[in-house]
Amino acid sequence: MMQRRMTVANRTVMGVLAALVLAACGDKAPLPSSPTSTPIAVIPAPRKVEAGSGVFVVKEGTRLEFGDGVEGERLGGYLTDLFQKTYGIGLGASGNVPAAGVIRFELTGGAAGPAHPCAPGIWASCPSESYSLASSPSRIVISAADSRGLFYGAVTLWQLLSKQQGSFVVPVVTIEDSPRFAWRGLLLDSARHYQPPEFIRKFIDVMALHKLNVLHWHLTDDQAWRLEIKKYPRLTEVGAWRVPAGPAAAADIDPATGKPRLYGGFYSQEDVRGLVAYARSRNITIVPEVDMPGHASAAIAAYPKLAVLDRPSADVPADWGVYPNLFNAEEATFKFLEDVLAEVVTLFPGQYIHVGGDEAVKDQWQASRRVQARMRELGAKDEHEMQSYFIKRMEKFLAGQGRRLIGWDEILEGGLAPNATVMSWRGIDGAVAAAASGHDTVLSPQPTLYFDRRPFDTPTSPGRVQISTVENVYAFDPAPAAIGEAQRKHILGVQANIWTEHIRTPERVEFMAFPRAAALAEVGWSATKDWAGFSERLPAQLERYKVLDVRFAEAPLPRPVDPFHRTSHEMVLCTEKIALSLEDDAPVAGTRAVFKVDIMNPCWLFKGADLSKATALVASVGQAPFNFQIGDAVKEIPLHRPATPEGELEVRVDDCNGERIAVLPLAPAAGNFAVTTLPAASIKPREGLHDLCLTFTRKSIDPIWTIDSIELKTTRAAGTE
């Protein structure tokens, strides 16, 4: 009922917003001189906006004023820094500046209640997050029931700022705002690739400016354990370091050790305390994830007694995918995990602790006589019940520490722990099941909210080939019909996940996060969907990224199709089983080529190749290590028998069973982990446009040979090579 009312109100507001923004930006007109058309490009869209006329001019000397009880130093410091850093404005500069206005923050004594379902126990204290902002030419007043609301009022104020005729102005406006959902999150995977604490601070800063409030921090996985645990120092001494996959990394010898250079890093408890406090001052709760019982290889490399296998690998592995390594079910292992969680709760004061629970393939438990005996002792009749026992036990431990457990939707299997919250990632089915059984849930489903998918078909950014655009994210329904009206109160909110297998650097994290995070923020915060309005406001958001020095993804204009030349990204994959945009295996330093390839079937179609004047085909190829744990699916990868030891690139015409028109031996490329242009192969011209099918023969799935680009040489161009 409440939501329906807000929906109607917001639609009206968005109409006004769209009209204002259109008036301001339409047809690339110069910035308007009439102050009444100052753009109101706030993201996420506020619940209610009433635009007035005139502006408040923000300048050196604009004073900040704080009502009773407001943490003026903290809030004022934040806002002053933000205005200084982004626009060079020195708010509250000393001295008597004539005609300078006042920005005032006031606490309202709890009048504005929370709009989202802030049930007792979700957060340590139930945050309001609501605020109102009223501006006139001389004064801006931001009021809220608590410091979170005031913070968001300050964020909105910053977004309202625009430059008009040389001055920074805030339009005269009245805003009433409150969020739709309590949980508005991003997952950052710091296990697959490590990001330094300075970057995480920056990421938190930018999240806060989207009114996102949960940083789900994925700290442990097969490929690394990144969180310092005092009681178990080997977790980070050993578990935080690995030799990256592939021959190039193996050949990169560290002179200090005489062994391959290790990749990695970890967060000390001091780092974590600093980051948690930093996030908290920006209304962001960090929810740490310690994944169990699967994704455990790094912990097992550090402490082999945790393993099911008698002799587990002593090295932290560098493959992506799903390893079969699970924690065993010994009392000592539960004790280890409880000890770890005991330190985790001292570091992370938020209510929720995430224990993973995903992708724990049960083969090792099934095959182990010892685990089977433990299952009988514990009364688990199958491996799902064993996992359920595991998670229930962790929940009990966390409850004893005053915390709540959250896990991926696999924790539903074998019976959900009594008070567990379910993060639904395999679509929304987990959320539907959780809500139906009276459990809280966060919607974070693939494919749409998986930000390791690329935002568009970009040739430079690695990631999953299938895309999830900013519009796809915006269209995501956070309260799907499959969850009945009565159960919707269990939807805590939404989250997008930035898995970093293929996102090696902080810059790439930013590229994958923004501006899709802006769409996510609006899905989680705003009561109404309005794609047209959002896209009108988006350019202002992109300008903000620029002033914040944040990299973001902006779709390039489509390029005309070239009938003579294609990169792998401009070709069609024959299949998209595990389709990735992958980096080559060149040494880590320096730029690396990025190829589009289905690792299950490296096969490309050059659609519409003009063969009428073609006399030769030039192929540039590269290679990437096959570092994927895909279980039995590996048997499905086709291998075509090579004629030469290194294999060949084969080119067929019209389809993949068509006439073979060229065979290019790979020998010249075999020792080169970067891109190699193979000697040209002669081809005979034939009339018209044809599809070319490109595949490799090879003895083994490793390396993955890939196309970088194909060029058709024509009679006209022949001899110019």
* Contacting residues for 594 by C-beta, under 8 A, at least 6 apart: 459, 460, 461, 462, 569, 581, 582, 583, 584
Site string for ligand ACM, 357-396 (x = CB under 6 A): -xx-------------------------------------
Per CB under 6 A, 343 contacts ligand ACM: no
Residue 359 beta carbon to ligand ACM: minimum distance, rounded to whole angstroms: 5
Question: Which of 267/408 has CB closer to ligand ACM?
Answer: 408
Question: Which of 116/439 has CB closer to ligand ACM?
Answer: 439
Question: Which of 358/711 has CB closer to ligand ACM?
Answer: 358
Residue 498 beta carbon to ligand ACM: minimum distance, rounded to whole angstroms: 11
CA of 505: how far to CAs of 117, 133, 233, 241, in Å?
36, 38, 26, 16
Rounded Cα–Cα distance for residues 566 and 579 (Å): 18
Q: How many CB atoms lie within 10 A of CB 173?
A: 25
CA of 75: how far to CAs of 93, 182, 200, in Å?
16, 22, 21
Residue 467 beta carbon to ligand ACM: minimum distance, rounded to whole angstroms: 17
Question: Which of 397/425 has CB closer to ligand ACM?
Answer: 425
CA-only gyration radius of the chain, Å:
28
Residue 424 beta carbon to ligand ACM: minimum distance, rounded to whole angstroms: 10
* Under 8 Å between Cβ of 187 and 444: yes
Task: Please pick, from the candidates 158, 352, 408, 628, the single residue that binds ligand ACM as defined by CB under 6 A.
Answer: 408
* Under 8 Å between Cβ of 625 and 702: yes
Q: Please list the active-site residues.
A: 221, 295, 359
Query: Cα 420 from chain centroid?
Result: 24
* Contacting residues for 30 by C-beta, under 8 A, at least 6 apart: none
Rounded Cα–Cα distance for residues 464 and 467 (Å): 7
Question: Which of 429/654 has CB closer to ligand ACM?
Answer: 429
Residue with tokens 């060149």, as numbered in its chain: 586
Question: Which of 147/497 has CB closer to ligand ACM?
Answer: 497
Question: Which of 426/699 has CB closer to ligand ACM?
Answer: 426
Question: Which of 190/541 has CB closer to ligand ACM?
Answer: 190
Tokens coding 46: 């506020």
Q: Is 439 exposed, middle or buried (0-12, 13-18, 19+ CB in 10 A)?
A: buried
Q: How many CB atoms lie within 10 A of CB 227?
A: 28
Q: How many CB atoms lie within 10 A of CB 103?
A: 25
Residue 408 beta carbon to ligand ACM: minimum distance, rounded to whole angstroms: 5
> Position 321: which residue type?
G
Rounded Cα–Cα distance for residues 360 and 295 (Å): 7
Question: Which of 425/476 has CB closer to ligand ACM?
Answer: 425
Question: Which of 269/629 has CB closer to ligand ACM?
Answer: 629
Residue 423 beta carbon to ligand ACM: minimum distance, rounded to whole angstroms: 8
* Under 8 Å between Cβ of 238 and 300: no
Give the count of residues interacting with ligand ACM (CB under 6 A): 4
Tokens coding 701: 């799935």
Tokens coding 452: 């390791």
Rounded Cα–Cα distance for residues 573 and 582 (Å): 14
Q: Taking each helix axis as running N to C, give the angle between helix 147-160 and helix 72-87, from 0 to 180 degrees, rounded to the nearest 10.
A: 20
Question: Which of 467/542 has CB closer to ligand ACM?
Answer: 467
Q: Report the candidate in 216, 104, 86 with the shortest Cα–Cα distance to residue 153.
A: 104
Q: Report the candidate in 294, 313, 295 with the shortest Cα–Cα distance to residue 303.
A: 313
Q: In the complex, which residue's CB is closest to ligand ACM?
A: 358
Query: Cα 248 from chain centroid?
Result: 28
Q: Report the candidate in 222, 241, 413, 235 with the shortest Cα–Cα distance to residue 337.
A: 235
Residue 101 beta carbon to ligand ACM: minimum distance, rounded to whole angstroms: 49
* Contacting residues for 687 by C-beta, under 8 A, at least 6 apart: 611, 612
Burial 24-53 (b: 16+ CB within 10 A, else e): bbeeeeeebeebebbbbbbbbbbbbbebee
State which of positions 54-113 bind ligand ACM (CB under 6 A): none
Phi, psi angle pair for 285, to nearest 5°: -95, 130
- Beta-ladder partners of 133: 142, 175
State which of positions 345-364 bind ligand ACM (CB under 6 A): 358-359
Residue 444 beta carbon to ligand ACM: minimum distance, rounded to whole angstroms: 8
> If you write DSSP's letter for every residue of 534-594 in order, what string do you get?
HHHHHHHHHHHHHHHT-----PPPPPPPPSSEEEGGGSEES--SSEEEEE-SS-SSS---E
Query: Cα 542 from chain centroid?
Result: 18
Q: How many CB atoms lie within 10 A of CB 226?
A: 26
Residue 188 beta carbon to ligand ACM: minimum distance, rounded to whole angstroms: 13
- Tell me the three state secondary structure of residue 473: helix
Residue 232 beta carbon to ligand ACM: minimum distance, rounded to whole angstroms: 24
Question: Which of 358/708 has CB closer to ligand ACM?
Answer: 358
Query: 305-311: which pairs have CB atoms within 8 A and are 24 or more residues apart?
Result: 305/330, 305/332, 305/333, 306/333, 306/336, 308/364, 308/365, 308/368, 308/370, 308/371, 309/364
Burial 578-616 (b: 16+ CB within 10 A, else e): bbbbbbbbbeeeeebbbbbbbbbbbbbbbeebebeebbb
Residue 195 beta carbon to ligand ACM: minimum distance, rounded to whole angstroms: 19
Residue 636 beta carbon to ligand ACM: minimum distance, rounded to whole angstroms: 21
Site string for ligand ACM, 421-460 (x = CB under 6 A): ----x-----------------------------------
Residue 103 beta carbon to ligand ACM: minimum distance, rounded to whole angstroms: 43
Binding site for ligand ACM (CB under 6 A): 358-359, 408, 425
